[in-house]
Amino acid sequence: MINLPELKAILADDKRKTIENLAVKAGAITRQYFGRTISLYAPIYLSNYCDNECIYCGFSKKLKIKRKKLSPAEIEKEMAQVAKTGIQNILLLSGGSRTQTPPVYIENAVKTAGKYFPSISLEVYSLEEGEYRQLYRSGVDGITIYQETYNKKRYNELHPSGKKSDYNYRYLTPERIAKSGIRYISLGVLLGLHDVAEDIYELFKHLELLERDFPGVEYSLSFPRILPVPGTKFKPGSVSDRTLVKLICLARILFPRVGINLSTRESGRLRDHTLGLGVTRISAASKTSVGGYAGIGREDTQFDVRDRRPVREVVARLKERGFDPVFTDWRRIKNGP
Amino acid sequence: MLKDKPLVIGGKKIKSRMLLGTGKFRNKKDVTESIKASGTEIVTVALRRIDLKRHEDNILEYIPENINLLINTSGARDAKEVLRIARIAKEAGYGNWVKVEVVNDSKYLLPDNRETVRATGLLSEEGFVALPYMYPDLYTARELVKAGAAAVMPLGSCIGSGRGVKAKEFIKILINEIDLPVIVDAGLGLPSHAAESMELGADAVLVNTAVANARNPKSIAKAFALAVKAGRLAYLGGVPGEKDSASASSPLTGFLFEDKND
Ligand code: SF4
């Protein structure tokens, strides 16, 4: 593992040669372990109700936005729409409201998703181990859970109230997930909340611990850059493309077999160019509003999509660049005993 | 040319001693071309990568009809999951040959030998032809024989690493002691690694990453096939070299038994 001063030095060094050297190394490792395959997924937002007030998020309960949660019929409609695009890996998201979207609501959405998609992941509020187990048995294969920032002081400032204000409960979430039997865990920090080097260093350390304690889980990393929230004073730190590329390369070099995700919040150009360097999984044609695919209501989005290309186009571009787009990377089997 | 016994797997005579994996290729056309160039008769496909819904771009469309499919259970973490995957494959019409792959370590992707033995037992009971991918351990190999395996597939080195036959000493023990076909799987990064495995006396090799990642997969597939043939021929010809239970070509103590008076 790298130490913090080394990581800081690399992030501070924007010389062409430094970045190129990292890229060459990371590219070779990626080819070795993943070949030229890129998995595709799409997010589906179930609800934007939230009981928390994370100051960097457009769904915070403090904000006056139109709230919406999909009804069972709407969930079905939304999923049918996404399935038509050929996407088979799905990420279901929901705002942090246990009251509006309790675990059983999520479980029902998972069961519906099972009719359309072979692989289902979730990005929802932190749950108990038993609740994760229940979701696993209902067909959940993966969970995305970001610590947001690993700096406790900053974490407390950013999460002033609600269940999410408990740093330790959040930190121990991946452990509870791993114990529940779930196969994939995706970790990350929101870049721009705190010092990037410090957060990334802690993220890598967290991953290293998890790999040691729960070697059977497949891990992946994400590096989302947080954007300003309209209507609030929140100003994220800026994180350059060069920094992002260095992070992707470092992650690949330090964790050769770990998946790296890149969402449509990044531009098509950046996404195209980072493919060979370490990214193994990208979202495509994402809608980040609740009901966005089936055109159910026009609610506010969690973040703006920069890469708006349809799946067809993303696939064509991947092939053009010598990559094999992978739609199916898991076959649904009965999870659990 | 020395006469060779055919390789028999699941009751089928197999002429080519090279098996080819289909993962990680940059496009599916390269898969077809590599299969043809290598002359392989058995290819592995991960069930998790078969798109049951889409017909266009489905990996199976790119595998010629006369090729035997060996479905691998990649993604399975225990014996039960192996069985579930195998059943889905059988129901979908992909036959009953299964490469048992149980991995419970995402960092090195090493196979879990204990679960592999259990999985092999469960599969054989249900009539599958099970080819377990394993860490080359003699005790495990013996258990696999009892569990009804059709072959054993010890790793040469970590999967995808291309580091060659690092586990050579232990693979050799399996070759000596186990009556089933021994197929060296994983870690063969160069045609010379394949030749080395065959010189040792392996019955076949399985190659994937080295071909899939090559600039020209077709010619590397061909190179591997030739290396496999060369290695086999060397083995049959009794390649001179370090041997564990050596028999010198002209006995050193033969004079003691010669009927001569000085
Ligand atoms: S980040 Fe999640 S918990 Fe926080 S306000 Fe947004 S939706 Fe709610």
ipTM of the complex: 0.73
SS3 string of A151-194? Answer: CHHHHHHHCCCCHHHCHHHHHCHHHHHHHHCCCEEEEEECECCC
Q: Half-sphere exposure of residue B238, counting CA atoms within 13 Å on the CB side?
A: 5
- B136 in Cβ contact with B124 (< 8 Å): no
Pocket test for ligand 1, best of A49, A54, A149 (most atoms within 8 A of CB): A54
**Residue A57: CB within 6 Å of ligand 1?**
yes
Shortest distance between the Cα of B213 and any Cα of chain A, in A, equals: 6
pLDDT tens digit string along B46-72? 877 777 666 566 777 787 878 888 999
Q: What is the pLDDT of residue A329?
A: 74
Whole-number pLDDT of residue A297:
67
**If we measure between CA atoms, which residue out of A286, A328, A322, A283 comes closest to residue A304?**
A286
Q: How far is B189 from chain A (nearest CA, A)?
A: 10
User: What is the model's pLDDT at position A287?
Assistant: 81
DSSP H helices, chain A, are 4-12, 16-34, 72-84, 103-116, 129-137, 152-158, 167-171, 173-180, 196-213, 241-254, 268-274, 311-320
Query: Token digits for B205?
Result: 């090799």
pLDDT beneath 70: ranges in chain B: 1-2, 52-57, 240-256, 259-262
Residue of A119, A218, A221, A328 for testing the chain B interface, max B β-carbons within 10 Å:
A328
- The residue type of B46 is A
Instruction: Give the model's pLDDT for residue A37.
Output: 85
Q: What is the pLDDT of residue A174?
A: 98
Kindly report the pTM of this predicted structure: 0.85
- Angle, helices A196-213 vs A173-180, to 10°: value is 30
A334: nearest CB among B48, B77, B84: B84
Q: What is the pLDDT of residue A300?
A: 66
Residue A302 is predicted with a pLDDT of: 64
**Identity of the residue numbered B47:** L
From the list A219, A329, A333, the residue facing B88 with the nearest CB is A333
Phi, then psi, of B70 in degrees rounded to 5:
-120, 105
Residue A311's CB is within 10 A of a number of other CB atoms, namely: 18
Residue A217 near chain B (CB below 8 Å): yes
What is the chain B residue with the closest CA to A218? Answer: B106
CB contact under 8 A, A328 and B49: yes
**How many Å lie between the centroid of ligand 1 and the Cα of residue A143?**
16
Could you tell me if A36 and A324 are in contact, meaning their C-beta atoms sit under 8 angstroms apart? yes
Regions in chain A scoring below 70 on pLDDT: 297-304
Pick from B75, B84, B213: CB nearest A32: B213
pLDDT of residue A284: 80
